Amino acid sequence: MNLLPKTKEEFSRTDYWDSFFRNRGSKSFEWYGEYHDLYSYLNKYIKKSDNILITGCGNSDLGANLHDAGFKDITNIDTSKVVIKQMKEKYKEKTSLAYLQMDALDTTFENENFNVILDKGTLDALMPDCHEATLKNIRKYFEEINRITKISGRYICISLLQEHILQIILEYFPSNNWMFRVIRCLEAEQNAVNNGEKLTPVFIVICIKFKSLQKQILEVNMSSNDKMQRFESIDQVKEAVLNTQRALFICSSLQQRSIEAENEVSFDLYEADSSKLKYTVYVVDIIPDKKNTSYAAFIVPQGRESEWLFSTKNGRKKLASISRCNRLLVVTMHRGLNYGSIEDIQKDLGDIIRDTTPVNSKNNKIPCLSLGEDGIGSRQVIHEGFTKTSGGYIIEDVEMEKKKYRRLYFLSNQLVIQSEAKLISYKNRKGILKDKPDLTNLTCTHHFYMVLAASIACDNERNASVAVLGVGGGGLCSFLNKYKSKMRIIGVEIDPEIIEIATNWFGLQRNNTLEIRCQDGLRYLKEVCDEGSTLNAVLFDIDNKDSSIGMSCPPKEFLEEEVLDNVRKIIAEAGLFILNMVIRDESLLEPLVNKLKEKFKRISSFKNDEELNEIYICSNRSSEISKEQLTAAVNQLNAYFKKNNNSDQVLDLNHDILDKYINIV
């Protein structure tokens, strides 16, 4: 027999509830949790000596449970004659437990008669919609609560707090000298899930009556700790509750099904007492394997969230696979916050880990994984500023795997490392240990390919010269200048602030063979072309500021017909055009490659599957770059790394180079 209402409007009808209780018989029906789920909250806000009224009691055992726990002055009311008769009979031996048939909108109690009005689902039943007649009844209900509650008395409402209900309760009580507090009831939610029910957010609203309040008191606690968050406006309270409901809706869906065939789900978590973003959480499912752990959380060390394995969907899928987890929660941290220990982080994430656990998970304790030695990592912001072309930026020092790195991030895209340098320690004249960028080290994988191509372009050339458009932190220019000290390098950068950053923080130093020009790269190319000058190589390593198109490098104007024509003339017959291209929208790739084919005789590329950057090498040469040329260039570069104590950068010819090199035309 179907005992659920056919339409939500039936919730407020007396004849529906008479029928409901007649059909259900004496079996109790508990909306929003059993007594043991709610006791810790009720015991905090109700005294044993309080005079308690339970509105819309139904056949819930809540009143009897409170009575057995030592609360003796309890009155239960309901509009249904059937249920009141049932409950009187059921609890006839509990003489201090009263059951009265009465309408909560129009009671016969004296003014200020009760210390506590306890509402468990009644408000939700009375307000199925926002029709004017419904709103009129709810206001009447609230006025009656206000009339019969003593000063310092409490209205305690257990509710799902749908948006229309949250709105009206916030409109009435804070504006009528009631303190407002709302708490998420985690125990009721979890026990519902344990019983095979869908995860549904349950809230307890506590409104405390005052004679007068100088200002509204609005408090919220949506987490498992006891710390209240105080807000200034009802809109902020609404946002906090609605955000929790939306997040739990996602979590409920995640508990019920796998998303391995779809896009991953991600959401942000904020500090409870501020608007600061603390964690970003990615939920990743892979094809289930019985041998795998069903569920785990992976804490990404600070400073490593930009790596391919953690910053891309494919990378996170790979992480779940190598972690042998059918579902992996990948958690990244944000700068500027204190995270404490790994145990503190696990405690922070306890609620969300529980709420996204698949219903069929056999894990009693969800494992939290990380990168062993790195733990939660460490980083320190050492400088912040603003540039006209890129907006706000930060420079931070990161320590990972016992090595230090300096990084430049633009605040408009904080998951992309714009420039990076490995740091080495030295003692200054006063004997104080300091850090400085190691200019003989390459930290960006795509720079290895660009250096090899530039080396091949300048092979056996006495007065070789190359132009690098897009200086950034200067890492590529500085390395080429150290590696090929006789090669003339022209670094072209449109933003003077970026040149200053590279100089002051990343060790960029001008000299006889390294020239840095503050100039628009497009204008520079036109000038060189108009002069009839040639270069052995032109390198594009330019970030695109326009996020509306699916290409991060280079800006689209650098691939226009006229620009490519200028580059083709500048590199002449023997030179190379070396292009760092980052495509997020795959549909853009083929047209761009076709455009390159129209302009250049030879095109090849380096593609690393674990990086978005793809390096295109274009030329007017009659022959392609040979395996012998690549081998010689790799051997030369490896010798340089070994000479400068950077053996960890030595390249494997086959794995790192030949396997990733493709001749296109």
Examine the pLDDT at 359 and tell me if it is beyond 60.
yes
Residues 6+ apart with CB under 8 A from 434: 425, 426, 427, 428
Q: How confident is the model at residue 549 (pLDDT cuts 50, 70, 90)?
A: confident
2 to each of 6, 137, 199, 296, 524, how far by Cα in Å? 9, 28, 22, 39, 78
**pLDDT-based confidence at 5, cuts 50/70/90?**
very low
Secondary structure (3-state) at 562: helix
Amino acid code (one letter) for 103: D
Instruction: Judge contact between 73 and 51, C-beta under 8 A.
Output: yes
* Residue 631, pLDDT above cutoff 60: yes
| Mean pLDDT confidence for 103-128 | 94
For CA atoms 151, 152, 156, 161, the dihedral sign is positive
* DSSP count for the chain of H helices, then E strands: 20, 28
Residue 261, C-beta contacts closer than 8 angstroms, at least 6 positions apart: none
Per-residue model confidence as pLDDT tens digits over 410-453: 988 777 888 999 999 988 888 888 899 999 999 999 999 999 99
Structure-derived torsion over alpha carbons of residues 166, 171, 173, 179, reported in degrees to the nearest 10: 80
Q: What angle do CA 256, 262, 265 make, to 5 degrees?
A: 65
How far CA 214 is from CA of 175, 177, 382, 458, in Å, comes to 11, 9, 44, 78
| Strands annotated E in 308-443 | 325-333, 368-369, 378-387, 391-400, 403-410, 419-427, 433-437
Question: What is the C-alpha to C-alpha distance for residues 329 and 297, in angstroms, rounded to an integer?
Answer: 4
Long-range contacts of 415-419 (CB under 8 A, 24+ apart): 415/305, 415/306, 415/311, 416/306, 416/552, 417/306, 417/444, 418/390, 418/393, 418/472, 418/473, 418/543, 419/472, 419/473, 419/474, 419/475, 419/501, 419/502, 419/506
Percent of the chain with pLDDT over 70: 91
* The two three-digit tokens of residue 371, written as one number: 């990168």
> CB-based contacts of 72: which residues, under 8 Å, 6+ apart?
48, 96
Task: Dig out the tokens for 200 from the structure.
Answer: 């549904």
- Give me the pLDDT at residue 405, please: 93
Cis bond leading into 554, ω under 30°? yes
- In this prediction the pTM is 0.67
DSSP 232-247: SSHHHHHHHHHHHHHH
Task: Calculate the alpha carbon distances from 255 to 222, 285, 362, 434 in Å.
Answer: 20, 12, 13, 50
Distance CA 476, CA 490 (A): 11
User: What is the predicted pLDDT for the residue at 272?
Assistant: 58
Residues 6+ apart with CB under 8 A from 260: 285, 286, 287, 288
Do residues 423 and 436 touch, judged by C-beta distance below 8 A? yes
Distance CA 601, CA 485 (A): 30
DSSP string, 120-174: ESHHHHH-SS--HHHHHHHHHHHHHHHHHEEEEEEEEEEE---HHHHHHHHHHSG
619 pLDDT above the threshold of 70: yes
Question: 158 forms bridges with which residues in the sheet?
Answer: 120, 204
Higher-confidence position of 130 and 269: 130
Residues 282-298, mean pLDDT to the nearest whole number: 89
Q: Taking residues 328-337, what's their average pLDDT?
A: 89
- What are the b/e assignments for 147-165, b being 16+ CB within 10 Å? ebbeeebbbbbbbbbeeeb
Average pLDDT score, the chain = 87
The distance between the two most distant Cα atoms of the chain, rounded to a whole number of Å, is 107
Across the strands, what pairs with 517? Answer: 492
For residue range 14-57, list pLDDT tens digits in order. 554 455 445 544 444 345 667 787 888 899 999 999 999 999 99
Which pLDDT tens digit goes with each residue over 500-527? 999 999 999 999 999 999 999 999 999 9
Whole-number pLDDT of residue 36: 81
Q: Per-residue pLDDT tens for 291-324?
A: 888 888 999 998 888 888 888 888 899 999 988 8
**Measured distance CA(153)–CA(117) in Å, rounded:** 8
Q: Which of 164-173, 454-463, 483-492 has the lowest mean pLDDT?
A: 454-463
Over residues 529-546, mean pLDDT: 93
Question: Is pLDDT of 617 > 90?
Answer: yes
Asked whether 535 and 514 are in contact (CB, 8 A), the reply is no
Residue 65 has pLDDT above 50, yes or no: yes
Mean pLDDT of 349-376: 73
Spatial contact of 244 and 270, defined as CB atoms under 8 Å apart: no
- For 427, residues 6+ apart whose C-beta sits below 8 A from its C-beta are 433, 434
Q: What is the dihedral of CA 97, 100, 102, 108, to 10 degrees?
A: -80
Of 421, 396, 402, 432, the closest CA to residue 477 belongs to 421
Cα distances from 343 to residues 332, 347, 348, 369, 654, in angstroms, run 15, 6, 9, 12, 42
Does residue 171 contact residue 235 with C-beta atoms inside 8 Å? no
Do 498 and 471 touch, CB atoms closer than 8 A?
yes
The dihedral region occupied by 654, where left means phi > 0, alpha psi between -120 and 50, and beta the remainder, is alpha
CA-to-CA separations, 591 to 206, 585, 609, in angstroms, rounded: 62, 12, 21
Domains and CATH numbers, the chain: 8-249 (3.40.50.150), 257-374 (3.40.50), 379-437 (no CATH), 445-663 (3.40.50.150)
How many whole angstroms separate alpha carbon 349 and alpha carbon 23? 43
Distances from the Cα of 522 to the Cαs of 235, 257, 338, 556, in angstroms? Answer: 49, 52, 44, 12
- Measure the CA–CA gap between 521 and 492, rounded to whole angstroms: 6
80 vs 30: which has the higher pLDDT: 80
Report how far residue 374's alpha carbon sits from residue 310's, in angstroms, rounded to the nearest whole number: 15
What six digits make up the tokens of 348? 């922070």
Tell me the residue length of the chain: 665
